[in-house]
Amino acid sequence: MQSDIDPRSLIGRRAFDLDGTRIGTVDEVYLDDATGVPEWAAVRTGLFTRDAFVPLGPSRLVDDALRVPFKKALIKDAPDFGVGRHLSPEQELQLYHHYGMEVPRGESPRARPGRRDLGEVAGGDRPATGG
């Protein structure tokens, strides 16, 4: 993802898949524990449905929307870990495998510190939201 984007500005933005089909709205952003770099976003896929985790690394911000380079069906089938909680290294590894992405070099689930949602960074124990 573009490194000059404030992760808080992603919350509330529309998200689209590889084909330009709307996935939903960015609900939360998860940061790398060690670096603070935005790593994953939880996208609310509908009014009464769950959030789906999408990787921010290969995603792009285009025309004020998040473009995720995967098909909607794959995104909606991503593992459901709930939102507002810390992503464990094992959960993150499951997400990398789900999307067919390589785990960053030198990082095993045990060595990797995990991910925290932006709400933890913002000083609260609740996730940051757009509304």
Q: How many CB atoms lie within 10 A of CB 110?
A: 8
The fold for domain 7-121 equals: Photosynthetic Reaction Center; Chain H, domain 2 (3.90.50)
The pTM assigned to this predicted structure is: 0.78
How far is 46 from 78, CA to CA, in rounded Å? 15
CB 95 within 8 A of CB 53: yes
- The model's pLDDT over 22-78, given as tens digits with 9 standing for 90+, comes to 999 999 999 988 888 899 999 998 777 789 999 999 999 999 999 999 999 999 999
* Per-residue model confidence as pLDDT tens digits over 64-119: 999 999 999 999 999 988 888 889 999 999 999 999 999 876 554 443 445 556 55
Q: 66: closest CA among 21, 99, 96, 104? A: 21
Q: Are 121 and 29 in contact (CB under 8 A)?
A: no
